[in-house]
Structure 1
Amino acid sequence: MYTLLTHPNSLFGQFDRLQRELDEFLSSGLPSSIRSVASGTQPQINVGRTPQSVEVYAFAPGLDASKIEVTLDRGVLRLAGERVQAASSNERQRFYARERATGRFDRTVSLPDDIDPDQVKASYRDGVLLVSIARREAEQPKRIAIQ
């Protein structure tokens, strides 16, 4: 049975999601300068980083890649576009469940300061948008000679 208490957009569903995200954050033990909005927003994303790059994966099957907007401005990555509802062969069809979100989406991710905005690659394959942003080499402390 489906109740409002278990619905992801209900108050209790939001508290449950917040608790899971907080537990995940605290268990990682690694502070991060990467920020994004809470899960449940479409399309869903994964953000990670390697020593060489920051990788953003957006799970967006069924979209036309030419209609997805990817911009990077002052350390903020923006993914925007629109998922249109598939045309139904029967206009009088009634839906009892509709889990695939339709309409405009706009996701933003705040990135760390060490990214190189001139080295960004984006690809869309099998419903997954991958945006890879290169990171600058870490500057080493400069030793200053005392005279």
Structure 2
Amino acid sequence: MELGLNTDSELKELLVLRDRIDQLSHELSGGSAVDSQPKLDLLDVGDAYRVVIEVPGVPQDRLEVALHEHELTIAGVRDPYDESPLLLLSERPSGRFQRTIMLPGEVEREASHAHLKEGLLTLHLPKKA
């Protein structure tokens, strides 16, 4: 029996399902997907993919982006508060985070670029011809 994906929409549904399984696995292992993994949008803009990742409070030198074939990984570190007055409520996560997604197609690594502005990391990933 041969399995195959017949349409782009089937591939996209599979990628969304994989992401959701990753999030559930993280939650079941004691983490909180909402708190520790940055939220992102993946857009198909014709000749490229655009990925917009929420990384408020994370400076550029604390972010890492890795691309291996169809797999994109964004990692970084959110610094905790300095030793200061007693913290009464903490809802903002600190520490290391990582998010990996599968891209629908291969991209041109050398032509890709990133831009960090107002807590949003935007990646422009041109599709491989």
The TM-score with structure 2 as length reference comes to: 0.70
Superposition pairs of residues 71-110 of structure 1, within 5 angstroms? 71-90=66-85, 93-95=86-88, 97-110=89-102
Superposition pairs of residues 1-147 of structure 1, within 5 angstroms? 30-31=9-10, 32=12, 34-35=15-16, 36=19, 37-38=22-23, 40=34, 41-90=36-85, 93-95=86-88, 97-137=89-129
In the aligned structure 2, how far is the partner of 1:119 from the partner of 1:112? 17
Contact persistence 2:69–2:106 (CA under 8 A):
no
State the SS of the aligned residue for 1:117: coil
In the aligned structure 1, how far is the partner of 2:87 from the partner of 2:116? 32
Contact persistence 1:42–1:101 (CA under 8 A):
no
Distance 1:66-1:74 versus aligned 2 partners, 3 A rule? same
State the SS of the aligned residue for 2:84: coil
Cα root mean square deviation, aligned: 2.2
Structure showing the higher helix proportion among its residues: 2
Q: CA deviation at 1:43?
A: 1.4
Q: CA deviation at 1:111?
A: 0.9
Amino acid at match of 2:60: A
Structure 2 gap segments, 5+ residues each: 1-8, 24-32
Instruction: Tell me the number of residue pairs that the alignment of Structure 1 and Structure 2 aligns.
Output: 106
State the SS of the aligned residue for 1:71: strand
In the aligned structure 2, how far is the partner of 1:118 from the partner of 1:75? 15
State the SS of the aligned residue for 1:130: strand
Contact persistence 1:56–1:130 (CA under 8 A):
yes
Structure 1 gap segments, 5+ residues each: 1-29, 138-147
Give the percent of matched residue pairs that are identical in Structure 1 and Structure 2: 24
Contact persistence 2:70–2:106 (CA under 8 A):
no
State the SS of the aligned residue for 1:55: strand
Amino acid at match of 1:86: Y
